[in-house]
Amino acid sequence: MSKIDLSKLYEVAQNHSLATTNAHPHSSDDGNVVGVHNGIIENYQEQREKLIKKGYSFTSQTDTEVAIKLIDYYYKKYNLGPTDAISRAMVRIRGSYALCIMFKDYPGEIYCARKDSPMIIGISNGESYVASDVPAILKYTRSVYYIGNMQIARLQKGEVTFFNIDSEEIQLPLTEIKWDAESAEKGGYKHFMLKEIHEQPKVVRDTINSVLKDNIVHFDSFNLTDEEIKEIDTVYIIACGSAYHVGVAIQYVIESLTSLSVRVELASEFRYREMKLRQNSLVIVISQSGETADTLAALRMSKDRGIKTLGIVNVVGSSIAREADNVFYTLAGPEISVATTKAYSCQLVAGYLLALQFAKSRSEITDEKYTELLEAIKTIPDKIEKILVDKERLQWYSTKLVNITDSFFIGRGIDYAIGMEGSLKLKEISYIHSEAYAAGELKHGPISLIEDGTVVISVVTQDKLVEKTISNMVEVKSRGAKVMAVTTAGKYFLEDTAEFVCYVPAIENLFAGSLSVVPLQLLSYYVSIGKGFDVDKPRNLAKSVTVE
């Protein structure tokens, strides 16, 4: 959704009700109420049948048409004003929605309603805007309202009024967006993904600096005291996709620095399990958009069970940011490319800093070790910069992967977590089948898939595990695999086994993932470009997954 021309929308809706199509906007039978919708209305069949009994007919198969006609029904039957008609419909429909509705009797006004789907409202010099996220309206304004769940807004020229579900007027704060419109543009790069990969040194540095004061990590805005952190015995990390992969990597770091038990859960699984959460626990949800439906649901479930929650979130004012008890904002800025890169990297460092803080609050780390690890974290941005300078080698190697059909990513410990992310990056933008395996698992089944020419990409940064992973690389190589490795400087012996080795700067093992992931992002990017795909908008994928 972006700036809406009222007269055009009416015109389109009128013509649309004649044509049998599912495209928005949809309108009531007499064209009196018209609207567009983002989200899913779960009980639309039930509402549709009720409306049919009341004499309504439907031209599309959509849940949106049902919502519009339900509003129209209350509007006419009870002779209600727009906000009352909308709120009546809102309590009848189940699911998620960001709805924009217009009434012929109220020209010059757009009504918006929101539940669990992203929606923001902007305002400037006599104009009002509605969109699902901030970058869509940055060209026009930086003054934004974050409409809450189950709230309604009335947009008039340059004026917005908010209402609660009882149609009572409410006040919402106006937020000034600090990022400029330029940062949402490509800034000279061919694609957003490449631009965002190159922004990583800066945004990772910003994220680290945001919690550093006098060389100590401070989480001033957290409601968690050292005493409370000491009492925690279990940390659940819950997320989806790449954010879940961050959780897997962070698990190793927290376990290594503290005595906390850590469980990492896929939000889509967690929400339907009957997991008995320990009361002395902390739930960390990770989300770039802050709107991922499953992650949001997991957060709400955890809160309902009285568990303290903490969100690692990128989008300010998003649902997860608003609902989590504590928020650690990553400062990645707007991420436009569907495949995450810079937000992922910021989430990783956010996780390291949290792990460090947990260790300190629980007195499980010496001051010397704390300083040493913090210094290591602070070197990450410069080291990422160095990897980016050397990207041509990866571009060259990517040409060898353009025509492959299958690939495996292997690694152990943190390297396994990074392999999972590398594998997802490759498959989502280059459509090459790819699997990530903990290297030790290969011989429990997947090794039977290795044949002449199968590509195996190994991540080998963890000193304790190097030999083990090399033995797995040798196993697949002897079965015909083409082996590539990403490792830290100094492990030159990998060239005996791998046909191509990419070196990242040496770093404390716990934080090596922040470096080893960068060549994998670049490799996926170049393979996708080599295949001629739309790297920023891979097929079948959306940037925010706001439905289950």
| Chain contacts with ligand F6R (rule: CB under 6 A) | 240-243, 287-289, 292, 295, 339-340, 424, 428, 544-545
Decide whether 339 or 465 has the Cβ nearer to ligand F6R: 339
Minimum distance, C-beta of residue 73 to ligand F6R, in the bound complex (Å): 36
Give min distance, CB of 324 to ligand F6R, in A: 13
Nearer CB in complex with ligand F6R: 82/317? 317
User: Which phi and psi (to 5°) does residue 514 adopt?
Assistant: -65, -25
Closer residue to ligand F6R, CB minimum distance, 386 or 537: 537
Q: Give the residue at shortest CB distance from ligand F6R.
A: 241
Closest CB 290 distance from ligand F6R, rounded Å: 7
CA distance 432 to 533: 12
Minimum distance from residue 544 beta carbon to ligand F6R (Å): 6
Cβ 281 vs Cβ 535: under 8 Å? no
Please report how close the Cβ of residue 424 comes to ligand F6R at its closest, in angstroms. Answer: 6
Burial group, residue 126, by CB count within 10 angstroms (0-12, 13-18, 19+): exposed
Minimal distance in Å, beta carbon 239 to ligand F6R? 6
Q: What Rg value do the Cα atoms of the chain yield, rounded?
A: 25
Residue 339: CB minimum distance to ligand F6R, A: 4
Spatial separation of the C-alpha atoms in residues 437 and 424, rounded to whole Å: 12
| Kind and range of the H or E run holding 88 | helix 82-92
Measured from the CB atom, is 340 or 454 closer to ligand F6R?
Answer: 340
**∠421-426-430 over CA atoms, to 5°?**
155
Nearer to ligand F6R, 243 or 257 (CB): 243
Whichever of 112 and 243 has its CB closer to ligand F6R, that residue is 243
Residues 6+ apart with CB under 8 A from 45: none
Give the count of beta carbons closer than 10 Å to the beta carbon of residue 30. 10
Write down the least CB distance from residue 289 to ligand F6R, Å: 3
Helix (H, G, I), strand (E, B) or coil at 41: strand
Report in angstroms how near the CB of residue 78 gets to ligand F6R at its nearest: 40
Number of alpha carbons in the 13 Å side-chain half-sphere of residue 217:
26
Q: Which of 108, 140, 91, 111 is nearest to 37 (CA)?
A: 111
Nearer to ligand F6R, 83 or 407 (CB): 407
Give every CB contact of residue 278 below 8 A, 6+ residues apart in sequence: 233, 234
* Chain mean position to CA 513: 19
Angle at 369 between CA 365 and CA 370, to 5 degrees: 75
Terminal CA-CA length for the chain? 20
Distance CA 269, CA 231 (A): 27
Nearer to ligand F6R, 266 or 506 (CB): 266
